[in-house]
Structure 1
Amino acid sequence: MTTEKFLEYLQYERNYSSHTVLSYRKDLEQFSSFITRQCGEFSILTIDSDLIRLWIVDLMEQKNTPSTVKRKLSAIKSYFKFLIRQGVTKKNPTNGISGPKNSKKIPIFVKEADMDVLLDHSEFGSGFEAVRNKLIIHLFYITGVRRAEILDLMDSDIDFSTQAIKVTGKRNKQRIIPFGDETHDLLIKYLEERDVRIGIGDGHVFVKEDGAKLYPMLLYRIVKNKLSETTTLSKRSPHILRHTFATSMLNHGAELNSVKELLGHSSLAATEVYTHTTFEELKKSYNAAHPRAADSKKGG
């Protein structure tokens, strides 16, 4: 009876959709079935935190994904909060229990050798679009900026005296990213080409031939088309070049916190995922170079 009252509460007081309510019903039925198997009956008063943890283990052993398990746990947490408000029980056995962590995917990146080929030996052509497109690829790789950040970059954000650009990231947080002599020369060449071809615009660095600000899909196509010439990666987006920047920095000895600041991450955890990538590269190099790494059976 308490289950039905809970579902009615979700539907009529919380205005949950019928689909969501049905999901809650299924989660509660599965939970009830598990408790009954463990205890011989389903009784709210006998459920403790150990049973909740055992239920989570059972879900994982059934090959449920971490996100699915967390969703089911969220439903049970809501159920017990409802029971407490209704005075059915005074304890919540789900308190302090969190679901399994989602496994982080290792970021895809372009190999350094392929980036060298792309920037040093690939044919971009001549003229305004060619100079612009090469600078775009170069900036993504050399600074790790986001797509929106490069689209919103203004002439006033470039400081040639200190060789740094100012970008505005998520939550309007600004950061300064340094650049080297090569980037300096490419920027000067592009801006001269742009100003001769288009004239004074609205201040955006990257524009189309008609002077209008570059739009996201065009930027995506520019990157995808050039990456297609040198890599067989399934994903060939601007974000892949951001991954490539971070991976390259760490592979060449940059401190994790420095890369975090350059990327504009709010926490170090977001940057740490790239350490897995660099470890994979290190492992490949080791296996390829060490005379006894390939055959672990040697030497007994």
Structure 2
Amino acid sequence: MYIKEFCDYLKYERNYSALTVDSYERDLQHVGDFVRGMRNIDNDKAVEDSYIEEKIIRRWMASMLEAGNTASSVNRRLSSLRSYFKFLLRKGLCETDPTLRIAGPKKEKALPYFVKENEMEHLLDDVPFPDTFEGNRNRLILEMFYDTGMRVSELVSLDCNDIDMQGNRVKVTGKRNKQRVIPLAPLLMERIKVYLQKRSEAASNSEALYIDKKGRRLTDYKVRKMVSEELSLVTTMKKRSPHVLRHSFATAMLNHGADIEAVRRLLGHESLATTEIYTHTSMEELKKNYQLAHPRA
């Protein structure tokens, strides 16, 4: 299999992030391991692409479902394999695509999790954060997620010069290095100014906006951990991640009458269909309120 060549293509020609490329690589290694087992191929021998036949792919998918994998996981791996064979066809490295007639398992469309507005207001306005470098940083991160809807990968990659202090806005680099500008609320700008003062006391030479106590760029793992811990103070939801705050931002915007196209641009979605799922979330919440409050519901 031409896994390395495919991953190099994704990285250098398509500008995919390292995390995305790693995900594709794991998916292809997974199908390669399955084919190796099905055909009893020795570990020291390569798995040929011609071995990946339609019936093999169907068995591979069935084995994943039997092992308890969700339809979403199976479809993601199948999508990686489709992309791989499209690459091979373009490069003239194979003649047929065995994934063409294969449909992925159907999945129920789950609505996004989001934190309620009163819970976020309680966290940001009432929960005490220590007046330290880390305390101010963590509070700012939570508020920036909720006020901008940016992804965790976008937040940790921010540099100090991405913040336009005069224009009250931030330049965000999203998927495939696409950039967008998000306005910043006055209160959030005040939080940024306080944090930058505390940050300067850390005496870091790093360009990164968010750093740890040693002056190193904050990792997405540490941000996820912090967000989960802080959200546990105001919600009992099992999912307590930066992406939940992204969902919360979009839901709050639409609930307060924002134009869906404007929300799409702020989130950095390519397709309006991706943003429209938040309108369903808002409707579900509206139905719950109606059923709880109306005497004849």
TM-score, normalising length: structure 1: 0.67
Aligned residue runs from structure 1 range 113-128, under 5 A: 113-128=118-133
Counterpart secondary structure, 1:125: coil
Conserved in 1, the CA contact under 8 Å of 2:254 and 2:279? yes
Distance 1:257 1:100, change over 3 A: farther
Counterpart Cα distance in 2 of 1:237 and 1:66: 19
Counterpart secondary structure, 1:15: helix
1:43 corresponding residue in structure 2: none
Alpha-carbon offset, residue 289 of structure 1 = 2.1
Alpha-carbon offset, residue 121 of structure 1 = 0.7
2:293 corresponding residue in structure 1: 289
Runs of 4+ more than 6 Å apart? 64-69, 95-100
1:158 corresponding residue in structure 2: 163
Alpha-carbon offset, residue 24 of structure 1 = 5.2
Counterpart Cα distance in 2 of 1:226 and 1:148: 19
Alpha-carbon offset, residue 291 of structure 1 = 1.9
Report the identity percentage: 44
**Which residue identity lines up with residue 113 of structure 2 in the other structure?**
I
**Which residue identity lines up with residue 116 of structure 2 in the other structure?**
K
- The counterpart of 1:147, out of the listed 152, 156, 159, is 152
1:280 corresponding residue in structure 2: 284
Counterpart Cα distance in 1 of 2:73 and 2:163: 43
Alpha-carbon offset, residue 213 of structure 1 = 0.7
**Which residue identity lines up with residue 157 of structure 1 in the other structure?**
D
Figure out how many residues of one structure are paired with residues of the other and give that number.
230
| Cα-Cα RMSD | 3.5
Distance 1:142 1:12, change over 3 A: closer
TM-score, normalising length: structure 2: 0.68
Name which one, 1 or 2, has greater alpha-carbon Rg. Answer: 1
Q: Extract unaligned runs of 5+ from structure 2.
A: 1-37, 40-45, 61-69, 82-94
Q: Extract unaligned runs of 5+ from structure 1.
A: 1-6, 28-63, 75-84, 86-94, 294-300
Distance 1:167 1:13, change over 3 A: closer
Counterpart Cα distance in 2 of 1:163 and 1:112: 23
Counterpart Cα distance in 2 of 1:141 and 1:264: 15
1:174 corresponding residue in structure 2: 179
Aligned residue runs from structure 1 range 1-300, under 5 A: 14-16=49-51, 23=56, 102-195=107-200, 197-293=201-297
Alpha-carbon offset, residue 104 of structure 1 = 1.9
**Which residue identity lines up with residue 270 of structure 1 in the other structure?**
T
Counterpart Cα distance in 2 of 1:25 and 1:220: 36
Conserved in 2, the CA contact under 8 Å of 1:66 and 1:99? no
Conserved in 1, the CA contact under 8 Å of 2:71 and 2:106? no
- Deviations for 1:25-47, whole angstroms, at most 9, x for unmatched residues? 769xxxxxxxxxxxxxxxxxxxx
